[in-house]
Amino acid sequence: MADYEVPKLTGAGYVEVPAIEPGSMAGKGPFVAKPDFQKALHFPSDFNKGQGEGERYELVPDWKNKALAKLDDLRHRYRSLQLYLDICVKCGACTDKCHYFIGTKDPNNMPVARQDLLRKVYRRYFTFAGKHFPKLVGAVDLTEEVVEEWYNYYHQCSQCRRCSVFCPYGIDTAEVSMAGREILDHIGRGSKYNNEIISKVFKIGNNLGLPGMALADTLEGLEEDVEADTGIKVRFPLDEEGAEVLLVTPSADFFAEPHVDGLMGYAKVFHEAGISWTLSSYASEGANFGMFIGSYENMRRIALRIREAAIKLKVKRIVFGECGHAWRVAYSFLNTLAGPFDFLDPKYPVPQHILEVTWGLIQDGKLVLDKTANDDKVLTFHDSCNVARGSRMGDKPGGQFEYPRNVIKAVCNHFVDMPADTIHDATFCCGGGGGLLTDDLMELRVKGAQPRMEALKYVTNEHGVTHMAAICAICKSQFTKVIPYYGFKMDQIVSVHQLVSNALVLQRQVSVQARPDDEDEDEDGDED
């Protein structure tokens, strides 16, 4: 199946910390972004294709000074970066916490060592000790080799922030790897996967490059599917002005499995609750890849689309679908990047997570649920890293752990949690987050999934778990792709709202929203 060794699972429920194998993941990193895509993101694009057999691009002219200038700029704009470059004491508490280190054994994947790739250059050029005693403090000159190391290892970090939970100073490697990628983007080393996707968002509106027409077709198809299934016309509205809710969801929800089953779940929930809603073809993407590359400006540009769509469609609320990175940017940054949202209904938080909506409705007794519809499954739940460690649901700390579990338990009879040190804020990343969900990083993705697979194997053996639910498009895509390497089946991964969709008994015969094609008749009827 692969030309590298797939880690073996023990079923013990935990992973042994491996002995280090220096250089085991040394390499060139993912495919490099072309100048066109760099340009679309406002990054320098004056670099050429390299001569010779390799396909690599050259760095921009005067790259060294530009890299150092960017590092200097970032450390003056981000307290986190400046502080985290200074205060690490190398205690080692983080060294066994990264799923990529556990899976690959490469010591540069230990959070502290990953940070050090940038820190040793920071020291050399910006600190007294590093300028005068480089050897003593482990400071090094910035060379092309160092740049390649950055490119390789900053794309072996999914920015899941598990290390930040365990660091006595809260040092967050995600902040450092984001800065690393931002510097690389400014010297001609952008990653193809991320930057191409962001440029698609700017050009077409979503990560997958689905134009409005295709989207409308897809949604119509889904309406037909649900009707064939239930006999009830559940609307999937697009660009419908005056709807109460603007739903922003990862574009994977429009066609990938099991994502699309989740989308059907949201639609049914809105339908049952009598909440009018709409998607926007202009802001048809929830995920914000600007975060992955540490670019505040691009992240803001992506976020502003949602504001514009909300204003244009005159909605009262913004709700996000099941997407981990989307939810972190939405919950933590949307107000910062694109706020204030004082034009929306102040009764609801901005934005809301679909699980907040659904759990609220369940608590209010607004949904009729038949739990037995999911009796063929024993569920466990994968806390997505960015939801778990970078966001909240509800108004109490930890709501992001409770809401999905509450909803799952409300729609399923059989639920088991994975071992305690692999869930909640100690959750392991799926192995594909943070802009690494690309086939050129397959080995990393497979190995990085090992800790989560160990936990899943444990509950499979001990409690007969058959399915793992997730609330992040990347988790779902990554797992469906990598779990076969570990002997599981891809359809064992499900959306939480897929479970809701299964259990929800539709009572409402007619949708609160008329189809646009029926509109003429309607307007004739209630003319003033």
Partner 1 sequence: MTFVSLLYGLLFYFATFILIGGVARKIHQYWTTPAPLKIPTTPAPVTQKGVVWRMFREVVFFESLFRSNKTIWLFAFLFHMALWLVLLRHSRYFVETGFFLNFIQPFGKYASFAMVLGLAGLWIRRVIVDRVRYISSPSDHLMLALLMGIALSGMMMTFVAHTDIMQVKAFFRGLMFFDWHNLPASPLLLVHLLLVAILMIIFPISKLLHAPGVFFSPTRNQVDNPREKRHVAPWALELEKHNKIYLDEVKHG
Q: Which of 104, 152, 158, 164 binds partner 1 (CB under 8 A)?
A: 164
Q: How far apart are CA 296 and CA 52, in angstroms?
A: 36
- Among 318, 38, 326, smallest CA distance to 188 is for 38
- In the bound state with partner 1, the residue whose beta carbon lies nearer, of 365 and 397, is 397
Q: Closest separation between CB of residue 467 and partner 1, Å?
A: 26
User: Using CB under 8 A, which of the segments 76-84, 219-227, 369-377, 493-501 binds partner 1?
Assistant: 76-84
Report the site for partner 1 in 141-160 (rule: CB under 8 A). none
How far apart CA 67 and CA 142 sit, in angstroms, is 9
Binding mask 175-214 for partner 1 (x = CB under 8 A): x---------------------------------------
Q: Indicate the residue among 167 and 367 with the shorter CB distance to partner 1.
A: 167
Does 392 help bind partner 1 (rule: CB under 8 A)?
A: yes
HEC string of 407-448 equals HHHHHCCCECCCCHHHCHHHCCCCCCCCCCCCHHHHHHHHHH
61 forms part of the interface with partner 1 (CB under 8 A): no
> For partner 1, which is the closer residue by CB, 160 or 256?
160
Place of tokens 């949904």: 367
Please identify, among the stretches 55-63, 235-243, 249-257, 331-339, the one whose residues bind partner 1 according to the rule CB under 8 A.
331-339
Pairing of strands 245-248, 467-470: unpaired
Beta carbons of 41 and 200 less than 8 angstroms apart: no
Among 32, 184, 264, 388, which residue interacts with partner 1 (rule: CB under 8 A)? 388
Q: Give the nearer residue to partner 1 in terms of CB position, either 113 or 469.
A: 113
User: CB 372: neighbour CB atoms within 10 A?
Assistant: 11
Tokens (6 digits) for 180: 């690393």
What DSSP string runs through 308-323?
HHHHHTT-SEEEE-S-
Name the one range near partner 1 by CB under 8 A: 78-86, 210-218, 250-258, 433-441: 78-86
What is the rounded CA–CA span in Å between residue 345 and residue 43?
37
Contacting range for partner 1; rule: CB under 8 A; set: 23-31, 91-99, 234-242, 272-280: 91-99
Task: State the Rg of the chain over Cα.
Answer: 24
Ranges within 394-433 binding partner 1 (CB under 8 A): 395-398, 400-401, 425
Question: Quick one: which segment of 88-96, 216-224, 249-257, 281-289 binds partner 1 (CB under 8 A)?
Answer: 88-96
The residue from 146, 167, 197, 453 that contacts partner 1 (CB under 8 A) is: 167
Is residue 484 reached through a cis peptide bond, with omega within 30 degrees of 0 on the bond before it? no
Site stretch for partner 1 (CB under 8 A), options 13-21, 152-160, 253-261, 265-273: 13-21
Q: For partner 1, which residue of 138, 211, 212, 360 counts as binding (CB under 8 A)?
A: 138
Give, as ranges, the residues between 284 and 323 that touch partner 1 (CB under 8 A): 296-297, 300-301
CA separation for the pair 190, 181 (Å, rounded): 7
Residue 475: Cβ within 10 Å count: 30
Site of tokens 């952008």: 190
Region from 165-173, 281-289, 429-437, 487-495 binding partner 1, contact rule CB under 8 A: 165-173
Identified binder of partner 1 from the candidate list 1, 2, 54, 135, rule CB under 8 A: 135
State how far the Cα of 467 lies from the Cα of 493, in Å rounded to an integer: 6
Considering only residues 497 to 516 of the shown chain, the ones binding partner 1 according to CB under 8 A are none
Q: Is 170 in the site for partner 1 (CB under 8 A)?
A: yes
- Contacts (Cβ under 8 Å, ≥6 apart) of 506: 230, 232, 234, 268, 271, 272
Q: C-beta of 175: minimal distance to partner 1 in Å?
A: 7
CA–CA separation, 189 and 303 (whole Å): 24
